[in-house]
Structure 1
Amino acid sequence: MTASEQPQQLAQTLEFAAERLTRRIQPLHATSRRLAFARLLVLLGGGALALLVAILFNATAAWILFGGAILAFLILVIWHRRLDDWIETLTLWRALKLDRRARLLLEWDNLPPPRPITLTDKTLVYDLDLAGIHSLHQALDTTISRRGTNLLAEWLAASQPDVDGLKARQSIVRELKSRARFRDRFQLTYRRTLQRELEGEHLLEWLKTEFPSARLRWALPLATLLVAANLVLFALWQFAAFPPFFLAALGAYIAFYYWHQKDLETVLGAVVRVHTELDKFRALAQYLERANFFQTPHLAALCAPFQDAAAAPSAQLRRVRLNAAAVGLRNNPLLAILLNVILPWDFLFAFL
């Protein structure tokens, strides 16, 4: 087989795979429509039948029948959602096959438009069609982040490339070449969890921000003492006929809290923002943690941080998620007051 025939054969293979996925998707859509009708029928029919039983017989039997209908409805909902998820997965997989085919044959009309980039070295960009419409960058760009697409453009447009870095990337690409399934699954994971490209700028801005952690570090033990004193004095007043000195402790704690409120809002707001950004990476991190890099040493070295079981990124992201969930409880004003009265809630999670 000649070099010119190889892309054509691979394109035919990809087209056949896309057609096969289309044939799998079509009956699933029909099943999805039937399930949607069945859900409606079970809910309305079960409700009507339960009402009829209540009129003709007794309420207990009607409630049992209605409960059974609700249970059947929920089972159908779960089944329907899983089916729709599978349809979405197959549809995205089909799109990946067609995207690879379009890049292979340079079918520009079937490729995504070139994404905006910012280059420092533009010496060769326009003369050699390295970036822009119908360019090498557009043909190769399957990156999932804004920084990724910009970095690819910088590599392509570098008038004085880093030879060692270039050879290292070539070694990784050679290993990725034979791992189409790994590449497809990574892209599939990304497309299923995110509807747009990743943007790391917000996260980098957060990492550069200076937070008042030093002041909050000593504020936590003081807040803990004030809360403990308040609870003890309240218990003594409630159960031992002690004077209501807890009001003074509560007032001191409220004053202490408002003295640090600005710092608390800064840190806790940042926790929520960083969770919003980091949570986008969770599914991708989990995929790379479970991936097998057998006989691909360069790719394994690149992904080594994800393979470290002692410091798995997904575990770190899970902790951030729990902290953000705890901070999110403050959105309810009454719950926020209660939590901060019985615990130094905001001080604790600002410190963590």
Structure 2
Amino acid sequence: METIFEQQAAIERQYARIQRRLAKTQLLDQSNKMRTLGVIGVGLFLIIIGLAVLPVLGFIFILLTALAFYLLSRFQPKVNQSMLRYQVWLRLLDEQKARLNLDWDAMPAVPPRDEQEEVDHPFEIDLDISGERSLHRLLNTGVSLEGMLRLRDWLLELEPDHEMLSERQSLVRELIPMTRFRHKLQLYSLFATRFTSDPVDGDRLLDWLDTQSESKQKLSSLLIALALSALLYLTVILFVFVHTSPLFCVVALLCSLIWYLRTKKEQGNLAEDTYQQRVAFGQLQQIFGYLENYPYARNSPLWHLCEPFFEHAEHRPSRLLARLERITGRATLARSPEGWMALNALFPLGAILAYQLDQCKALIAQYLPIWLDVWYELEATCSLANFAEMNPDYTFPELVPDRQTGSAPVFQAEQLGHPLIKKSKKVSNDFQLDAQGEILLITGSNMSGKSTFLRTIGVNLCLAYAGSVVSASLLRTSIFELYACIRVTDSLADGYSYFYAEVRRLKGLLERLESGTRYPIFFLIDEIFKGTNNYERLIGSEAYIRTLVEKKCVGAISTHDLELVQLTELFPFIKNYHFKENITDDQMNFEYLLRTGPSPTRNALRIMQMAGLPVKWDAPQPQP
């Protein structure tokens, strides 16, 4: 099992190899440019001498110079492409190093949260699932916008499906050792977006196809345009060979021009419609071509997922997108309106291209949504596989179907840690829940680790329900519906105070329980009712916890109210746990280890004193 230092060393070695290859390619690029200049200089000299001595010799030198220049110019794009690939590969390795070191500034950005989602989702903000320093950003290796969003949707799933998760786990397991496949797919994707900082937006292409799905260029209009063009060339031939009046040529040309102007709307705006889409489809062509030609293991999960790329020989992405590339390439001539009008008066190229484009788009519209969906699924799954490869000490969770547990939910974790904490600082814990209605009541001093522990449970459940590995040596769990009340904020826009926002969130949990859920709810509540005074907080907290005991749920609640620990005497389903600190040489040292029983210590006044606030009190001796 590789340590993080061994992984970093391996990346550094690969980084050095790519840098050496890039340096060699850059030297080759410079030498090729010098050769080109040399060919031009020597060629011009020989051409001048040859023409002065013998004209035929001069023309021979012209042909030889042109041939040498052509060969060198054909070689140069390959050199440029190699340099760009190496640069993209270095970028990929930089991003991988950033993920290993939790260097948030160097990680690629992810789409920002939607404001409505921030308000409504029951755990997205509380567990740092999305955002700047989030689980989503750590996991994501996708390049397409929809692939990134699909990964986020998996992490935010409210009602996971056991069968789907089993299939996803199988695919992730297959992809973990396929490092070369994953990196090359990411390399092709990054290379496709090398000229832009924006992700590939496949849905924009689907929208373009949907808005133009009905053929605008009528076949009858095209046939008439071809007939008028044939008539024009016939009059020209008759004028040249039979010496008919040139007036016939002029009339035929005017008829062709008038018909073009009359039916121009049927062609649409070819220049605008095709230019941007040509770039976007060109990006997909490289990615889909790689997925189409990869030698998959037959009947493997990956083979079944990528089957749409190669199951129809006549309608493979390489053929359809290459055909579209040819059509859109010719349509770029329409960017010059005057020249385009003159050309179409002589020959109905616009009508032909518009008709071909309509036919090609109709065919691509049948397959592109399938290809894009597979690509998005593969990008999100590769993100999970990359996360598993970076963390070989993590394990796949065992997801227990309801039929194997009866009515009792299961949650058993060993060495459970938080994946967003550096491994050098991470502290892991063991704990389990055995019965419906069971509640962990967690007490402890300030900064002792209560909130982090709640997030640790939630984040690992999100990973498990996305099909990923988890930060644990063992995790055996039923499928729950997650609900968190950890990071609650007030709202100036809506006029909510912090306390009222917390009340609304806690009320939402009860309403969700009353409405009936497919799975038991796993709730995580941090410092319940901390926005009000001690007296009312204690009364409200006790009443709320009593209500939860009777519901279809399990969960953990952290609190500073040590009076609540007495609830374990009334309800056997409530269990006391705590975190503690040790004081050595007048300094607090936190263990971050979960212990049974209520907290024996408090430290708020000591923290105030250590911060320099004017607090004096007789500090009790720490209990052993």
Tell me if both proteins adopt one fold, taking TM over 0.5 as the criterion. Answer: yes
Please name the residue that 2:262 is paired with: 259
> Residues 266-320 of structure 1: CA distance to partner in whole angstroms, max 9, x if unpaired?
3564244432321110110111111111156221111112123221101101111
1:133 equivalent in structure 2: 132
Deviation at 1:264, TM superposition (A): 1.8
**Shift, 1:238, TM fit:** 3.4
The aligned counterpart of 1:176 is 175
The answer to whether the aligner puts 1:202 opposite 2:204 as a matched pair is yes
Task: Find the counterpart in structure 2 of residue 303 from structure 1.
Answer: 306
Do 1:227 and 1:253's aligned partners in 2 also have CA atoms closer than 8 Å? yes
Q: Taking structure 2 as the reference length, what is the TM-score of the superposition? A: 0.48
Instruction: Name the counterpart of 2:226.
Output: 224
Per the alignment, residue 313 of structure 1 pairs with 317
Letter in 2 for 1:15: A
Deviation at 1:137, TM superposition (A): 0.3
State the structure with more CA Rg.
2
Asked whether the equivalents of residues 270 and 331 of structure 2 are also in contact (C-alpha less than 8 Å), the reply is: no
Structure 1 unaligned runs (5+)? 1-5
* Matched AA of 1:216: K
RMSD over aligned Cα, in angstroms? 3.8
1:323 offset after TM fit, Å?
Answer: 0.7
Q: Is the 8 A contact 2:232 2:252 kept in 1?
A: yes
Contact 2:40-2:69 at 8 Å conserved across structures: no
Work out whether 1:111 is the aligned partner of 2:110: no
Corresponding residue number in structure 2 for 1:154: 153
Deviation, structure 1 residue 31: 7.1
**Paired residue for 1:12?**
6
- Structure with bigger strand share is 2
Task: Write the deviation string for residues 166-211 of structure 1: whole angstroms up to 9, x where unpaired.
Answer: 3333222121112111001111112223224201242122122146
In the alignment, does 2:247 pair up with 1:247? no
Q: Counterpart of 2:3 in 1: which secondary structure? A: helix
- Tell me, in whole angstroms, the C-alpha distance in 2 between the residues paired with 1:71 and 1:234: 37
Residue in structure 1 matched with residue 89 of structure 2 by the alignment: 93
Alignment check: 8 A CA contact 2:22 2:87 kept: no
- Which deviates the most, 225-234 or 90-99? 90-99
Preserved CA contact (<8 Å) 1:124 1:159: no
* Superposition TM-score, scaled by structure 1 size: 0.79
Q: Secondary structure at the match of 2:123?
A: coil
Is 1:293 matched with 2:296?
Answer: yes
2:239 alignment partner in structure 1? 237
Provide the rounded CA distance (Å) in 1 between the counterparts of 2:73 and 2:233: 47
Match of 1:325 in 2: 329
- In the TM superposition, residue 87 of structure 1 has moved relative to its aligned partner by 4.7
Amino acid of the structure 1 residue aligned with 2:6? Q
Q: Does 1:144 align with 2:138?
A: no
1:186 touches 1:284 (CA, 8 Å); kept in 2? yes
Contact 1:14 1:98 in 2 (8 A): no
**Aligned partners of 2:309 and 2:316 also within 8 Å:** yes
Q: Percent identity?
A: 26
Deviation at 1:160?
Answer: 1.9
In structure 2, do the counterparts of structure 1 residues 48 and 14 end up closer, same or farther at CA, with 3 Å as the change threshold?
same
Q: Secondary structure at the match of 1:250?
A: helix
Deviations 1:124-171 (A, max 9, x none): 101111111221101111111112212211221122234444333322
Q: For the Cα contact (< 8 Å) 2:175–2:182, is it kept in 1? A: yes
Distance apart, 1:91 and its partner CA: 4.2
The AA in structure 2 aligned to 1:257 is Y
Matched residue of 2:269: which SS?
Answer: helix
Deviations 1:98-143 (A, max 9, x none): 4334324534344223432447562210111111122110111111
Give SS of 1:303's match: helix
Between 1:178-187 and 1:321-330, the stretch displaced more is: 321-330
Q: Distance in 2 between matches of 1:73 and 1:253?
A: 41
Corresponding residue for 2:561? none
Q: 1:23 to 1:277 in 2, by over 3 A?
A: closer
Report the CA distance shift for 1:107/1:28 in structure 2 as closer, same or farther (over 3 A). closer
SS in 2 for 1:144: coil
Q: What is the correspondence of 1:43-82 to structure 2 with a 5 Å cutoff?
A: 43=37, 47=41, 82=78
Aligned residues: 344
Structure 2: gaps (5+ residues): 357-624
Structure 1 pair 25–74 and aligned structure 2 pair: CA distance change class (3 A):
farther
The alignment partner of 1:143 has SS state of: coil
Shift of 1:328: 1.9
